[in-house]
Amino acid sequence: MSKKTGKITKVEKFYIENNSSLDAADLAKDLNRSVAFVKKHVKKTDTGHVDTTQEQKTASELFGHKEDRGVTIMTPAASEVADETRSSRVNITQRHKNAIHIIKKK
């Protein structure tokens, strides 16, 4: 007998998202949920149809903007992209390899 009511828990979400290779019936059996419930969550998260050809966004596209107030905020996603692409954007010499910010390049 499967559960019929209640919200999906974080553990159940994690299990469904990280076992997308299993079919909905197996996931439903493991989680003691209905197949329709599992299919609904898979459709919502779209984990079964991951597009690997999606182009990577630049850090500037991931900033949060509020044009009416003139505010721009760096989001965690923008920070991660900036950190990952730093080596391709900045030519770092041996002298400055541990520096966060370089004031004068020599």
pLDDT digits (tens, 9 = 90+) for 53-76: 345 677 788 888 888 999 999 998
Kindly state whether residue 22 falls inside one of the protein's structural domains: yes
Q: Which residues are registered as beta bridge partners of 65?
A: 72
Q: Is the pLDDT assigned to residue 92 strictly greater than 90?
A: no
The total domain count for the chain is: 2
Sort strands 71-73 and 64-66 into parallel, antiparallel or unpaired.
antiparallel
Token digits of residue 50:
């991951």
Name the residue range of residue 80's domain. Answer: 59-90
Helix%, strand%, coil% for the chain, nearest 5: 50, 10, 45
Q: Above 50 in pLDDT, residue 47? A: no
Q: Decide if 32 is inside a domain.
A: yes
* 98 part of a folded domain: no
* Residue 3 domain-assigned (yes or no): no
